[in-house]
Structure formats: C-alpha cells, structure tokens
Chains A and B, each alone.
Chain A
Amino acid sequence: MVEVRNLRYKYPGSKDQVLHGLDFSIPQGEIFGFLGPSGAGKSTAQKILIGILKQYEGKVTVLGREVRETKPDYYEKIGVAFEFPNFYGRFTAMENLSLFRSLYQGTTSKPEELLDRVGLAKYAHTKVDNFSKSMKMRLNLCRALLNQPEILFLDEPTSGLDPVNARLVKEMIIQMKTAGKTVLITTHNMQAAEDICDRIAFIVDGRIVLIDSPRQLKVEHGKRRVRVEYRKNEQIHQEYYELEGLGTNQEFVQLLGRERIETLHTEEATLEDIFIKATGRKLE
C-alpha cells in the first residue's frame, strides 16, 4: 500500500537535510504510527506521502503510484486530516462538508451520515465559527472520510479531544482498518499510538530509529519480571519476581496466598521509556 525506500529531503533553498534515507512499508489494512518530537521530520515525511512536497530523493509509492508523478486526482483515493482543523467559519458544518464533497468526482459518503457517526448530527446547521476545538477535530475527520479513501493520513487525530471523543475517534480509526483501509497516523501521543497502531516507527532527526509493533517493542525492551504490590500493616510493600519459573516460585506463590494483593504487573517497558532509550530525547 505504501512503500518508501531511501527517502531523502531538504526544503528548497535550505542546506539542511530533513530526512536522511527513510525505509519502511505499510501493508493494506494496517494502522501505522509515526512517532517523534516536533521537528523530527515526521510532518515532512507525511507531506511527501500526501503529495505536497514532490522534490524528494528516493522512492515513495502509495497505491502503486510514485507520489512525485501523481496529479490532483491522487486525492480521490486518499484522505488527509492535518492537526489543525480548518474550515470556512461562516459556513455551517453541512455547508463545509457539501463544499468539500463537491470537489470529488468519485463516490462520496453523505455528510449527514458522517456527522451522525461523530456525534455532530444536531450541529449540522451550526456555523463552524461556533464550534469548539473538539467539534472541529471531529468535523475534520468527517471531511477526510468524505471520499471513502483507501488510505487515510491523520496528523494528531486525538489532539484537543476529551477522553470520550478521543475514544470515539480511535474506534472510528479501528473500524477503518476492519473495512480494509490503511491508516497512517503522525503523533507524539504515545498512548494513542499504543492503543490503536499495529506498528509504530520512532523518527528522530530525520531517521527511523525503531520500527515494530507496540507490543513487541514493550516486551523486547522490558524487564522479564513481575511486580507485586500488597498492603500489610497499613503500609504498601512491593516485591519483584523473575518471569522464568514464576509458577513454581514458592516465595511468589506463598505471597499470593498470604497477603492482600493490590496490584500485579509485568514490567514491560513503556513506549516513552523505549523512545528515550533509543534516542536520548523526550517527546514533547
């Protein structure tokens, strides 16, 4: 679905290379996350993939087409939502979606159905100027889905959303995957990436430093042990036990039987730990 080989890029007039040879591929039906701090090059990579920046070096094919050779009809097949949702403020939600819908020639979804899916049906005839950030973010997702895209590019899709709406958006993204669509997310929100991405790539200073599934990364970089917290004499105590032979570890088994256990966790790494370890930098 997406094939990137040795992608290099520098902005016109600039001496600095922004991307230093990215290599990755995304199969159909995968939710892929690009994670990295601001200025790492993830937005530039996304702008190349969506055909805005075409003066790149290397090979970038999306839906079997080299992106630098695509024409505006490329956008019939892809959906894009940037982090900051922008609309005509004097138009209502419905007018905005109808306007954007009129720009496509292929099959499109009905705006009212999309608005209903994101809980905005009753605001269809409200001017977007009166929308909150959360409402605009959801409207932005509707806009990106209007043309029933094969592949969806989302920049910080849960930014500015309350937990309920963040979950709604994440569920919609997972539904896209279930329908066989491919989704590429750019974010610095580790939790959102972990919740929905099949694979993630850490990008720092224009290079991919790690690429794998969140689960695999967490297991590989974690400690193979379990942490037990229990309460005794009104004090919280914690003990660690190796995962190897845990079931036959008498001390562990006795502790479970003897004490009032409050929490029991394996010590896999968090994505944030892995990121800091791999890059020496923090996500902002």
Chain B
Amino acid sequence: MRLTAAIAYDIKLQFRHGFYYAYLVISLFYIALLQFLPSSAREMANILLTFTDPSMLGFFFIGGLVLLEKGQDIHNTLFVTPYKPEEYIFSKTLSLTLLSALSSYMIHVSQFGFTTKPLLLMLGVVMTSIFFTLAGMGVAFRCRSLNGFFFLSTLVALVFVLPLSDYLQIWSTPLYHLLPTQASLLLLRSVFEPIPPLQWIYAILLLAGWSGLAFLWARYSFRKFIMLQMGGDGP
C-alpha cells in the first residue's frame, strides 16, 4: 500500500537526517533532568516534558523536514506521481508521531517503570503530536526559509501553549477549554490524576476537532504554496 510505503520511507529519511539520534539525545537529557528533581516534583515535570516533546518538537521538526524538502524541490518530483497530497500529509504526520510516542514512552518508563497505566497518556501524546505536526506543516508550507518558519511558528505556538499557565497555576481563563493543549494536558495528567470518562471524551473530541481543522489548513496551504509553485517558471 502506498501510504505504508511512504511512512516507511519517511521514517528512513528521518533516520538518515539524524532525527532519531536527536530525539534520543533530547530524551536522555530529559531523563537526566528528571533524575535530579525531587520525587515530589517529578510527576509535574514529567507531564511538562511529555507535553513539550510531542508538541514543540513535532512542531519544529516537521518545519525542518518540509523546508528541507522545499529546499531540495523534491515536491516537483513527488507530485507528478500518483502520490496524493493527503497521503504525503498523513505520512509525515504519522512518522513523526511514532517518534514522539517512542521518546515520550521511554521518558515516562524511565521514571515510573511499568507501574502506571499510560494508555490515556500515550493517547494524549499521539493526538497532541498529530495536531502540532499538522499545524507546523501548514506553517512550513507557507515559509521560504527556516528563519521565516521560526518566526511564524513561534507566534502560532505561543497561542497554543497558553494553557500551561493554568497548569502551572499562574493564570487561568475558561477560554482555555477551547484550546487543544488544554485537552492535551488533561490526557497527560490523567496518568497521575485519573479523570472521569466525560472529561477524557471531551479531551479526545476537542483534540480530534482541532486536528481536523489543522489537516484542512495544511492541505489548503499545500495546494496554494506547493502545488501552484511546482515546475518552476511559476506565476
């Protein structure tokens, strides 16, 4: 199947570009950091680090990946084959999500072993990664350089990390409940503070809805900023 092959080659490409080594180094750094914290702070720190892992890393790594491909003009050759833009978007998203899930699970197990039930935690990681990767892809399609991407993506990311201020008990507003990151934090925290079914259903639906929007936006950005520019001598 084309999508399976595309995911396999994307993983191979990410491996070849050192993404797996980079994630390993970052994960080991996080593990070391957690070791130095008092056990009372370790749970909160694990949630925070697990949150930044799929969200921020996925967001920025997809930017690097897409801009690398844009720099190599690889889209010119990829999309004169039966490869569909949707398959490209899914393949990139799922391959990076796998990386996030592996590293988050590794960090979690290193601290808490196999004593917890991390199903909702991992669901949170996967869904958060999917949303942020799609959002990052939409931004990256529109940018010409890494600098441009970092500027624009920081602005976008800033909006979505606001619910952290609630988690850290700095400031809160009911509007946070509309943001996908609120749902992410809820799912991630559930590993230590179990939540009722209604809450995890709310979290899953909210993240799924935002991911759907991010997908539509990424696909629109792709058509406008990649497809119309293909083949040189553009408009």
Question: Could you tell me which A residues sit within 8 Å of B by CB distance?
Answer: 11-14, 38-39, 43-44, 46-47, 50, 52-53, 72-76, 78, 80, 82-91, 95, 99-100, 102-105, 140, 143, 147, 155
| Interchain CB contact under 8 A, A103 and B232 | no
Bound Cα distance A52, B83 (Å): 13
Asked if B77 and A100 sit within 8 Å, CB to CB, the answer is: yes
With contacts A47-B231, A83-B232 known, what are 14 further pairs, Cβ within 8 A?
A: A11-B234, A12-B235, A13-B235, A43-B231, A47-B230, A80-B80, A84-B76, A90-B13, A90-B17, A91-B12, A103-B5, A103-B82, A104-B81, A147-B81
**Given B6, B17, B72, B82, which contacts A75 in the complex, CB threshold below 8 Å?**
B82
**Contact assessment for B82 and A76 in the assembled complex, using a CB-CB cutoff below 8 Å:** yes
Q: In the assembled complex, which residues on chain B have CB atoms less than 8 Å from the CB atom of A84?
A: 73, 76, 232
Given contacts A44-B233, A52-B227, A103-B5, contact A87 B13 (CB under 8 A): no
- Per the CB 8 Å criterion, the residue count for chain B at the interface is 28
Per-residue interface assignment for chain B, residues 73 to 115, with 1 indicating a CB less than 8 Å from any chain A CB and 0 otherwise: 1101111111110000000000000000000000000000000
Q: Please, how many angstroms separate the alpha-carbon atoms of A90 and B9 in the complex?
A: 12
Whole-angstrom CA separation of A42 from B81 in the bound complex? 21
Chain A residues closer than 8 Å to B233, beta-carbon distance: 38-39, 43-44
Minimum C-beta distance from A53 to chain B (A): 8
B-chain residues with CB within 8 Å of residue A87 when the two chains form the complex: 72, 74, 77
Chain A residue, CB-CB nearest to B224: A12
Set A14, A72, A104: member contacting B84, Cβ < 8 A: A72
- Whether A88 pairs with B74 at a CB distance below 8 angstroms is yes
Q: Lowest 6 CB-CB distances: which A-B pairs, in order?
A: A11-B235, A102-B5, A43-B233, A80-B80, A90-B16, A86-B73
Contact of A52 among B13, B78, B230 (CB under 8 A): B230
**Least distance between B76 CB and chain A CB atoms (Å):** 5
Residues of B contacting A12 in the complex (Cβ-Cβ under 8 angstroms): 228, 235
Residues in chain B within 8 A of chain A (CB atoms): 2, 5-6, 9, 12-13, 16-17, 72-74, 76-84, 227-228, 230-235
User: A105 vs B74: C-alpha distance in the bound complex, in angstroms?
Assistant: 21
Q: Which residues on A sit within 8 Å (CB–CB) of B83?
A: 72, 103
Q: 11 A-B pairs, CB-CB below 8 angstroms?
A: A46-B231, A50-B80, A52-B227, A72-B81, A73-B82, A86-B73, A86-B76, A87-B74, A91-B12, A91-B13, A104-B82
Which residues of chain B come closer than 8 Å to A73, judged between CB atoms? 82
Chain A hits for B17, CB < 8 A: 90
**Inter-chain contacts of A14 with B (CB < 8 A):** 235
B204 to chain A, nearest CB (A): 31
Q: Contacts of B12 on A, CB cut-off 8 Å? A: 91, 95
**Chain B positions within 8 Å of A105 at CB level:** 2, 82
A82 and B4 CA atoms in complex are apart in Å by 27
CA A47 to CA B233, docked complex, whole Å: 10
Q: Is A72 touching B6 in the complex (CB atoms < 8 A)?
A: no
User: By the criterion CB–CB under 8 Å, are B231 and A155 in contact?
Assistant: yes
A102 and B232 in contact, given A52-B227, A80-B80, A90-B16 (Cβ under 8 angstroms): no
| Nearest neighbor of B227 in chain A, beta-carbon distance | A52
Q: Which residues of the partner chain B approach A104 to less than 8 Å between Cβ atoms?
A: 81-82
Contacts of A100 in B (CB 8 A): 77, 81
Residues of B close to A53: CB separation below 8 A: 228
Partner of A103, one of B6, B13, B230: B6
Give the complex CA separation of A143 and B78 in angstroms.
Answer: 10
Given A50-B80, A104-B82, A89:B2 Cβ within 8 A: no
Given contacts A82-B232, A100-B81, contact A89 B6 (CB under 8 A): no
Other-chain contact of A102, B6, B72, B80 (Cβ < 8 Å): B6
Q: How far, in Å, is B37 (CB) from chain A's closest CB?
A: 38
**In whole angstroms, what is the CA distance A72 to B83 when docked?**
7
- Interchain CB contact under 8 A, A102 and B77: no
What CA separation (Å) do A48 and B228 show in the bound complex? 11
Q: A76-B82, A90-B13, A102-B9 are in contact. Are A43 and B228 (CB under 8 A)?
A: no
- Measured between alpha carbons, how far is A268 from B219 in the docked complex, in Å? 54
B235: A residues at CB distance < 8 A: 11-14
Roughly how many angstroms separate A50 CA and B228 CA in the complex, as a whole number? Answer: 13
How many angstroms between the C-alpha atoms of A83 and B81 in the bound complex?
A: 16
Q: Are A82 and B77 in contact (CB under 8 A)?
A: yes
* B225, chain A: closest CB distance, angstroms: 12
Closest CB in chain B relative to A185 CB, distance in Å: 15
